[in-house]
Amino acid sequence: MAARNKARKRAFQILFEADQRGASVQEVLADWIRHSRSDDRQPPVGEFTMELVEGYAEHAARIDELIATHAVGWTLDRMPVVDRNILRLGTYELVWGDDTPDAVVIDEAVQLAKEFSTDDSPSFVNGLLGRFKELKPTLRDA
């Protein structure tokens, strides 16, 4: 598995854990870093994982607003927790991350949905992130 793919998966797991615990993503990220330094069995938290988690945290309110606005028929609270956090990560990287092609960001998010969520989730994630890709020039600064 490619390093960036692993980093995205770890970032997703951190966002998911924070959501489940009702904790801040920064708090969970700090826990993961602390555990990786004190337990050799824990994989290190790489720079790209930290960049994704911290980037999401910086834009969390706007990202949740975008998802809630464009997820037709779904409120953020009613959305499956896995899907919500895959979309949060993918939206951050798609709209604010400039170093990964949009198609790669969407594909990686769809792969996470295939691995961790329901049969309907990959198409839901693909559709919503595809919409954000179309709207990208208007989303960042709004």
- What band does 43 get if pLDDT is binned at 50, 70 and 90? confident
pLDDT at residue 141 in the model: 66
Compute the distance between CA of residue 74 and CA of residue 136 in angstroms, rounded to an integer: 21
> Is residue 12 over pLDDT 90?
yes
Q: What is the pTM of this model?
A: 0.95
Stretch 19-47: mean pLDDT? 95
Burial 11-23 (b: 16+ CB within 10 A, else e): bbbbbbbbbeeee
Compute the distance between CA of residue 108 and CA of residue 126 in angstroms, rounded to an integer: 10
Per-chain mean pLDDT for the chain: 95
